[in-house]
Structure 1
């Protein structure tokens, strides 16, 4: 499966992911906060991206 990481909306990515892919990024819009807070809120952290990648690889 694929794991795109996008500091933007997920709209349109699912057609590229297949059944086993996962998306790391925004699932909505309109949030307002400092960048670091928003990145954590939407799961755009190194820890979360690594965890999702390990999950895809079956580790």
Structure 2
């Protein structure tokens, strides 16, 4: 039970960080955003993939 709650809290924290990062990247010019996402993929592939998916989702 405690582990489930901790997982939910961690997921909530990750979602909040992702939303903040998404807002940050959406304010960037397109070429700067591409460079930023490329660098981020090197640093953290999982998070970058999630953010890229959200960016793509919002554009549609």
TM (normalized to structure 1)? 0.26
Structure (1 or 2) with the greater strand fraction? 1
Structure (1 or 2) with the greater helix fraction? 2
Q: Is the radius of gyration larger for structure 1 or structure 2?
A: 2
TM (normalized to structure 2)? 0.25
